[in-house]
Amino acid sequence: MKVTIETKKTGHLLRWVCPQTRKRVSISVNEASDGRNPTKLKDRIESDIKHGEYDPTLVRYRPKTIGKNKTELTTVELFDRFTQYKQKYGGSRKALSKASIDTRYKYLKVMLEKHLDIPASSVDRQTIDAFTLVCQKLKPDTAKQRIWLLKAAWDWGKDKFQLPDPNPWDEIATRFDSVPVQPVPAFSRDEVKKILDGFRRAHLVVVGGVKK
């Protein structure tokens, strides 16, 4: 299995096909900031694939440090950094307001501190299943919003920290889709006729003073 290297302005991009899923995979490498040599990493990935030691989560191939900072964070630390980034830059949108942080991000951080304060690299579907049981106590829309925030945090941090890939939070939010309100069946023509006839008879009884 061949790994290709593309040179970018911010470093290099390694691309290959996952031997398990047959899907295309990519990972960013910046030798200046994280110390990973793209050629050596390319050789390592190809060797792992050849000898059956490939890590499909990609954690093995991500940097353990960037400069002097470790990239092995807990879920709380990761979400804190994501929140700080959103508060300062906002990504593709304007920076978040303090009110938005207080109403949306703060309560999710409390949930993580209480129920999922573990290394972010160890989050998998099993731990997520346990966390979603806690989320079921929330309103469906609130739970869905918080899962989307966690997915966004993992997407933001996947090339910066020791995080598994693909994102373990993918498609989890759909568990909290609201049950659609079933439309009331329309009356048939015969039922409409009976209802109108009933109204007419009731009107005649009132107007004519007839009692039954």
Q: For residue 192, is pLDDT > 80?
A: no
Q: For residue 207, is pLDDT > 60?
A: no
> To the nearest whole percent, how much of the chain has pLDDT over 70?
85
For 104-160, the pLDDT digits (tens) are 899 999 999 999 999 999 999 899 999 999 999 999 999 999 999 999 999 999 888
| CA–CA gap between residue 200 and residue 203 (Å, rounded) | 5
Q: Taking residues 6-25, what's their average pLDDT?
A: 91
Please count the other Cβ atoms lying within 10 Å of the Cβ belonging to residue 27. Answer: 20
DSSP string, 94-149: PPPPHHHIIIIIHHHHHHHHHH--SBGGG--HHHHHHHHHHHTTS-HHHHHHHHHH
| CA–CA gap between residue 131 and residue 176 (Å, rounded) | 13
Q: For residue 74, is pLDDT > 60?
A: yes
**Domains, in order of start, for the chain:** 1-63 (no CATH), 72-183 (1.10.150)
**pLDDT at position 69, please?**
76
Q: For residue 28, is pLDDT > 70?
A: yes
Pairing between β-strand 11-17 and β-strand 4-8 as defined by DSSP bridges? antiparallel
**pLDDT at position 211, please?**
47
For 171-189, the pLDDT digits (tens) are 998 888 765 555 656 667 7
Structure tokens belonging to residue 91: 């990504």
